[in-house]
């Protein structure tokens, strides 16, 4: 320190200040680097390296038991393209999105629109009530719905159908009803989230727009189609993207609701992620399963890029 001061004493006061500030900046940078060391190791080791490894594994025929990896190039992908179960599960995932998303958005919007017109304590109360399913464990919910949807004479819903004199249904045991039954559970759980986001979007629309519309003599319906919905476009895009990704990754409810957890009956409810899970952790075909995850990764990437594009055009 004494040595430093000796050097500085030879320099003018302005430069001295500059050098001092520079050394303060330097200390700050060293601290910042210290803060970031562990996190950088974490993100490289637990996020980026495994991503890279998944890509590499997808070019091998590795099964975890035999321990020897053989590089087989694009063979896994070639096999996937010829794999009927892959196409079946991809189709099922498509069905979840195609039916689930519009229903979810429509219900979420209607709910938000109605609650938005309720004021005061009741507004907060309804918001809180409809949001509860979203924070509960999907496993618990799946089992509750499985219990409700049991075949006659056990299941509650079938009991109610009998009481009303209607024919009983197979629900989760039926080739055609199992997927909609599981989808209902997913929609029911996701509704609260959609509602909250829509409500935030509705709140962001300036009241003056509606006041001007009333002056111009626009009725409720016109206000809805010419003000509310167009101005909600960013919200809707966001919900379409997060919703698509959510349905693309559908897994927990199918594993817990379908019989033996295999996406049955006859693979009729099995989504892509459940297929990946079975390939990797029941058949131990790690290479093949990794190739499937790479495909999932690219599908999600495309959806996200489309969102960024559309959002950018908005601005």
Partner 1 sequence: MKNKNTASTIRILILTVLGIAMLFPFFWMIGTSFKQGSDVFNLSIFPKKASLENYRKLLSGSYFPMWFLNSLIVGGVVTLSVLFFDSLVGFALSKYKFPGMKIIFLLILSTMMIPTEMLVIPWYIMSSELHWVDTYWGVMFPGLMSGFGTFLMRQFFMGIPDDLLDAGRIDGLNEFYIWWKIAMPLVRPALAALAIFSFIGNWNAFLWPLIVSNMIDMYTLPVGLSFFNGEFQNQWEMVMTGATVATIPVLIIYLIFQRQIINGIALTGVKG
Q: Which of residues 145-164 bind partner 1 (CB under 8 A)?
A: 145, 147-148, 150, 153-154, 156, 159-160, 163
> Smallest distance from the beta carbon of 29 to partner 1, in angstroms?
5
For position 276 contacting partner 1 by CB under 8 A, the verdict is yes
CA atoms within 13 A on the CB side of 157: 13
> Smallest distance from the beta carbon of 137 to partner 1, in angstroms?
4
> Smallest distance from the beta carbon of 204 to partner 1, in angstroms?
10
Q: How far from each other are the two terminal CA atoms of the chain, in whole angstroms? A: 55
CA distance 31 to 25: 10
Number of residues that bind partner 1 (CB under 8 A): 89
CA distance 93 to 99: 10
> Smallest distance from the beta carbon of 210 to partner 1, in angstroms?
15
CA distance 222 to 213: 9
Q: Pick the closer one to partner 1 by CB: 84 or 153.
A: 153
Asked if residues 270 and 92 have their Cβ atoms less than 8 Å apart, the reply is: yes
For partner 1, which residue of 180, 297, 306, 311 counts as binding (CB under 8 A)? 297
CA atoms within 13 A on the CB side of 76: 26
For partner 1, which residue of 39, 84, 167, 217 counts as binding (CB under 8 A)? 39
For partner 1, which residue of 11, 81, 106, 128 counts as binding (CB under 8 A)? 128
For partner 1, which residue of 242, 262, 310, 311 counts as binding (CB under 8 A)? 242
* Listed ranges 3-11, 70-78, 127-135, 165-173: which one lies at the site for partner 1 (CB under 8 A): 127-135
The residue behind tokens 């980026």 is: 48
Binding to partner 1 by CB under 8 A, coded x per residue (else -) over 178-217, reads ----------x--x-x--xx-xx-----------------
Question: What DSSP character marks residue 41?
Answer: H
CA distance 141 to 184: 11
Contacts of 158-164 with CB under 8 Å at 24 or more apart are none
> Smallest distance from the beta carbon of 7 to partner 1, in angstroms?
23
Residue 3: alpha-carbon gap to chain centroid: 60
């Amino acid at each position: 320190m004494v040595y430093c001061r000796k050097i500085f004493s030879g320099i003018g006061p302005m430069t001295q200040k500059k050098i001092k500030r520079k050394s303060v900046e330097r200390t700050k940078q060293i601290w910042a680097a210290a803060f970031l060391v562990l996190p950088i190791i974490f993100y490289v080791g637990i996020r980026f390296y495994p991503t890279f490894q998944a890509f590499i594994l997808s070019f091998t025929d590795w099964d975890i038991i035999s321990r020897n990896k053989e590089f087989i190039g694009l063979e896994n992908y070639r096999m996937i393209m010829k794999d009927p179960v892959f196409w079946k599960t991809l189709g099922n995932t498509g069905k979840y999105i195609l039916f689930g998303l519009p229903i979810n958005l429509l219900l979420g919007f209607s709910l938000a629109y109605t609650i938005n017109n309720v004021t005061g304590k009741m507004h907060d109360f309804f918001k809180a009530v409809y949001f509860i399913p979203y924070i509960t464990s999907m496993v618990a919910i799946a089992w509750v719905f499985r219990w409700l949807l049991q075949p006659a004479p056990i299941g509650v819903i079938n009991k109610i159908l009998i009481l009303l004199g209607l024919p009983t249904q197979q629900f989760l045991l039926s080739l055609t009803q199992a997927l909609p039954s599981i989808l209902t559970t997913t929609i029911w759980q996701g509704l609260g989230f959609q509602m909250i986001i829509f409500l935030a979007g509705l709140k962001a629309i300036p009241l003056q727009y509606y006041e001007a519309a009333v002056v111009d003599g626009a009725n409720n319906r016109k206000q809805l189609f010419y003000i509310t919905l167009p101005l909600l476009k960013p919200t809707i895009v966001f919900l379409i993207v997060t919703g698509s990704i959510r349905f693309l990754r559908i897994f927990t409810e199918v594993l817990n609701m379908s019989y033996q957890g295999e996406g049955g009956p006859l693979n009729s409810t099995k989504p892509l992620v459940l297929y990946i899970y079975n390939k990797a952790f029941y058949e131990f075909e790690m290479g093949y399963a990794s190739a499937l995850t790479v495909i999932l990764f690219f599908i999600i990437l495309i959806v996200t890029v489309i969102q960024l594009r559309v959002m950018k055009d908005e601005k």
